[in-house]
Amino acid sequence: MSFTDKVAIVTGSSSGIGEATLLQLARGGAKVVLNYSSNEDAAKATEALLTEIDAEFITVKANVSEDDDCQRLVQSAMDKWGRLDILVNNAGTTKFAAHENMDALQAEDFLRLYGVNVVGPFQMIRAALEPMKASGGGSVVNVSSIAGVAGIGSSVAYAATKGALNTMTLSLARALGPDVRVNAVCPGFVGTPWFRDRFGEETFNAIIKRMEENTPLKKAGTPESIAEAICFFASEASSFVTGETLLIDAGSHLDMTTLSQR
């Protein structure tokens, strides 16, 4: 896919799905904004990868739960290149808590997760709206989760935020057309370094094996496989698509037994 002369912001792009998306956009010719919130070492490693492929990029440290940071992130792209065409809302957070444990989550947990996973994307879209309109229209891709569709995942709070993000995708696709398209991807399990670090190599490999054995496509998700779908929504190939929430999980949503084990 070609992104020549396009400018893209990918939030939370120093690792995992965000990094893979940033690299694919850059390989397609886009000028890209690398964003991170706290992990400077990871950002520097991503900078090295971008440099290897001769990408044109800037790096901006910003927390999407803060509206001033969202405005600054967009303005950084405008100051550098004078336009903005693509926004990928990838930054997210969670708290791990068994769904049946009603004491594992407090109000502040919900508020923190909503601040990053829902309010953050809204603030980013609001900040990017006029610049994208001025560039002739734009594409927003929200990185959601199968958790927001099936009510599964790391915690009830996380699933609730992703459900809200899916609903917001529909609302804003309706409100912002025809100037800006808004779509979402809903990955299932994705084998990111973050996941490996969180659960350890043994559990990580066991989940990959289970996905490869039990999903209809006999595959486990990778950051690159999700990035491909994100880049489709970001590209002109999807110019007739808005308000879509795409499940990307090798078909695991077709088997509720597999889902219940997540």
Q: Annotated active-site positions, please? A: 158
Cβ contact 220:189 at 8 Å: yes
DSSP 211-226: HHHHSTT---B-HHHH
Q: Where do we find the tokens 């808590």?
A: 97
H or E stretch at 141 = strand 138-143
Alpha carbons 137 and 203: distance in angstroms, whole number: 44
Alpha carbons 78 and 159: distance in angstroms, whole number: 34
Alpha carbons 148 and 248: distance in angstroms, whole number: 13
DSSP percent split of the chain into helix, strand, coil, nearest 5: 50, 15, 35
Alpha carbons 17 and 50: distance in angstroms, whole number: 15
